[in-house]
């Protein structure tokens, strides 16, 4: 709905859903995902953006609280970012960058050399943990650390 005019009361379209911004396939165009009747009225669109920001802020805040507490903190934080990305270009750019970095890390993790290294490091760590548990059991038996007297 690009009218070519910036007169008050008329909306200027950000980008169509079919447009590609940087040539990447499968990526949606940047801009608001609000329904057309909301974008058509400035006051309604601003109040929509404020509502989306507040809901996204509440979800991100809950995710930050979940970081030290039990719960999927990072998943909730990225969920809040996804809520913000429905309306704000900066959040869409952050999510695209994050998705690209996660995809690159997953591809690196599938590399046979990296997998072999990770298996070796995990095995060494497991041997160390088993040795420490064995030493503890040899020295103290099955006794909790806070009940150990001078032995």
pLDDT tens string 9-52: 444 444 444 444 444 556 677 777 777 777 778 888 888 889 99
- pLDDT, tens only, 75-103: 999 999 999 988 888 988 998 998 899 89
The pLDDT of residue 140 is: 78
Q: Which of 22-31, 112-121, 134-143 has the lowest mean pLDDT?
A: 22-31
pTM over 0.85: no
Q: What is the DSSP letter of 28?
A: P
C-beta atoms surrounding 85 within 10 Å: 22
The pLDDT of residue 39 is: 76
Helices (H) and strands (E) in the chain, counts: 5, 0
- Going 132 to 135 to 141 to 147, the CA torsion angle's sign is negative
């Amino acid at each position: 709905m690009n009218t070519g005019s910036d007169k008050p009361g008329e909306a200027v379209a950000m980008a169509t859903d079919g447009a590609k911004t940087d040539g990447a396939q499968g990526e949606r165009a940047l801009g608001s995902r609000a329904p057309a009747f909301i974008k058509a009225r400035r006051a309604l669109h601003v109040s929509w953006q404020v509502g989306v920001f507040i809901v996204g802020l509440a979800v991100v805040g809950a995710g930050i609280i979940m970081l030290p507490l039990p719960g999927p903190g990072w998943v909730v934080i990225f969920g809040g970012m996804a809520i913000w990305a429905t309306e704000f270009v900066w959040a869409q750019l952050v999510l695209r960058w994050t998705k690209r970095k996660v995809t690159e890390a997953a591809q690196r993790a599938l590399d046979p050399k990296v997998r072999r290294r990770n298996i070796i490091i995990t095995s060494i760590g497991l041997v160390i943990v088993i040795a420490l548990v064995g030493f503890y059991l040899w020295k103290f038996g099955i006794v909790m650390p806070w009940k150990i007297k001078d032995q």
